[in-house]
Amino acid sequence: MVLDLADRTDFDNADRGFIAALDPGVVKDASGRVVWDIDAHTRASAGDCPPTVNPSLWRQFQLTSKQGLYEVTDGIYQVRGADLSNMTLVESDSGVIVIDPLISQECAAAAIALYRAHRGDRAVTAVIYTHSHIDHFGGVLGVVDPDTDVPIVAPEGFLEHTVSENVYAGTAMLRRGMYHAGPLLDVGPTGMVGVGLGPAASTGTVGLVAPTVDITATGQEAVLDGVRIVFQLTPGTEAPAEMNFSFPDRRALCLAENATHNLHNLLTLRGAEVRDARGWSRYIAEAIELFGDDAEVAFASHHWPTWGREQIVRFLTEQRDLYAYLHDQTLRMLNQGLVGSEIAEQIEMPPELDRAWHTHGYYGSVSHNVKAIYQRYLGWYDGNPAHLWQHPPQAAAQRYVEVIGGVGATVDRAREFLDRGDLRFAAELASHAVFADPDHTDARTVLTEALQRLGYGSECATWRNNFLTGALELQHGIAHTAITASAGLAPAMTITQLFDALAIRVDGPKAWNERFALTWEITDSGERYRMELSNGALVHHPTRQDRGADLTVSLTRQQLLGLLAGAGHDGVGMTGDSSVLPKLLSMLDNPDPDFPIVTP
């Protein structure tokens, strides 16, 4: 790999159109708690690369630490560096259209205030969610009220996939996200240096206003307050529900998160559905076909824009080829009998792609993306029967340590590999020692050092954050994860989704021998649901039939939200066996946002 560290092209583009910065670059919630501090990134990224950061990643850190209001083209602006993602603002006949209102309400409010300070107090006339990830909708209540009547535009399937990720698997993803994004690490040379895709993730108030306009087909057009938009659906790319779109009258193209200035994830380290690399490449090719001849500027929901038709087509072509190459070479090699970990070691990237900064794995990586492609096609099992029924981590660790000769001997061998520079195997051995004896001081010390050194060498910011957060927890224990997304999404969820979230929490063994049925009547919407508990499974569906139930519950949607949030059932109508509802609630398990990861 040959990269020109003196290349300033991206720095010039990242500064282009600058109007003003957030000053100070600190955002607080109503209680005075800091939920965002871009100033810490600006200070930490100044100067030359320290020896504890990969030089390529340091360059990306400096770029993603830039912040403020920028003009993209006539009538289109972005606030960058006010959260992990960008807020884009498109001026319309009577106000402004907001694209992707960041993660949290407080940051979104600060971003639009910065825009209004320089462009006038324009009302929000529409909101567009480019896709179903929280950093593209969570701050919506910072730009509109919950009962707003402005159009909320999103790709088909948005709400389904938003709830699936942030509620159904939300606790596990949030806990793993503490490793992925590194919010507990100090910002600086021995800690967090961004996440590659942006500076960091804010920790403010998350909300959701459900979409009112669905984009269901490529080529669909909409006129929002006088602004003409042409959409391209791209499902299964960076998100299960996602879309690009063009502003043809302004020769501007929004690429959502499908083409940013890094190699993205095909499977995020925090966890998600495996993405379709082949489909991703094809949708980028389609974007070139649909919009490449006319676009003079292409911008995305992260990073800085690309200007000039020739430059846009080259950028998109290289991004297209990047995902196609990873897909096709992984399939070629798995059909030769290689497993995911072997392909990840053997794959070589084309020199021309490798020379381009924007193809580098600052957020995703070639290594874990190749394994994701393997998983998408063949699953977790590599075909070797010896790997079909392996012991779980702690049981396996105890046996490995026994074979090596005890925890002390295992730590000694781990130290030997550490001294040789084989950090990967040193970490593996030391991890076995920690899982066999979590209180063994030397085992934790060796594992901490191995993880720290792995982090310092990583070009991928999320790898760095994972390694360094693991080291931090070994030294100081698990810090409580205080933030949550699910509560803020509940008001926008359907009744089916609310009951799904309830069913996921049922303790199956505790409920094995219980059987009862409920009818739920949602009085303000006229919906009627039947719910049955049997064999530890809570099954529910909308119904028009009256099949008889042990209990009929009549309540408003707001009362249901309160009931599921633990507010009790005062004012809720119940006919039948009133003990059924508290019995059901007593069988619910509470998710654990602080489960261990680097220790058993």
Numbered ranges of CATH 1.25.40.880 in the chain: 387-476
Chain CA centroid to CA 120, Å: 33
What is the distance between the terminal CA atoms of the chain, rounded to a whole angstrom? 38
Strands of the 68-73 sheet, one edge to the other: 18-20, 68-73, 76-80, 87-91, 95-99, 123-128, 152-155, 213-215
List beta partners, residue 173: none
**pTM tops 0.85, yes or no:** yes
Contact 244, 253 (CB under 8 A): yes
Beta strands in 23-108 (DSSP E): 26-28, 34-37, 68-73, 76-80, 87-91, 95-99
Strands (E), 81-226: 87-91, 95-99, 123-128, 152-155, 213-215, 221-224
Q: Do the bridges between strand 123-128 and strand 297-299 make them parallel or antiparallel, or are there none, so unpaired?
A: unpaired
Cis before 591? omega within 30: no
Residue 595 CB neighbour total at 10 angstroms: 12
Q: 310, 370, 311: which is closest to 339 by C-alpha?
A: 370
**Residues 260, 220: contact at Cβ < 8 Å?**
no
Q: Distance of CA 502 to CAs 280, 283, 478, Å? A: 34, 36, 27
Q: Does domain 494-586 have CATH number 3.40.50.2300?
A: no
Query: CATH 3.60.15.30 region(s) of the chain?
Result: 8-234+277-284
Indicate the pairing of strand 152-155 with strand 213-215: parallel
* CATH superfamily, with its number, for domain 387-476: Alkyl sulfatase, dimerisation domain (1.25.40.880)
Residues of the chain with CATH 3.30.1050.10: 494-586
CATH topology of domain 8-234+277-284: Metallo-beta-lactamase; Chain A (3.60.15)
Which residues sit opposite 588 in a β-bridge? Answer: 506
pLDDT digit string (tens) for the chain, length 600 residues: 557 777 889 999 999 999 999 999 999 999 999 999 999 999 999 999 999 999 999 999 999 999 999 999 999 999 999 999 999 999 999 999 999 999 999 999 999 999 999 999 999 999 999 999 999 999 999 999 999 999 999 999 999 998 888 888 888 999 999 999 999 999 999 999 999 999 999 999 999 999 999 999 999 999 999 999 999 999 999 999 999 999 999 999 999 999 999 999 999 999 989 999 999 999 999 999 999 999 999 999 999 999 999 999 999 999 999 999 999 999 999 999 999 999 999 999 999 999 999 999 999 999 999 999 999 999 999 999 999 999 999 999 999 999 999 999 999 999 999 999 999 999 999 999 999 999 999 999 999 999 999 999 999 999 999 999 999 999 999 998 776 666 788 889 999 999 999 999 999 999 999 999 999 999 999 999 999 999 999 999 999 988 899 999 999 999 999 988 888 878 899 999 999 999 999 999 999 999 999 999
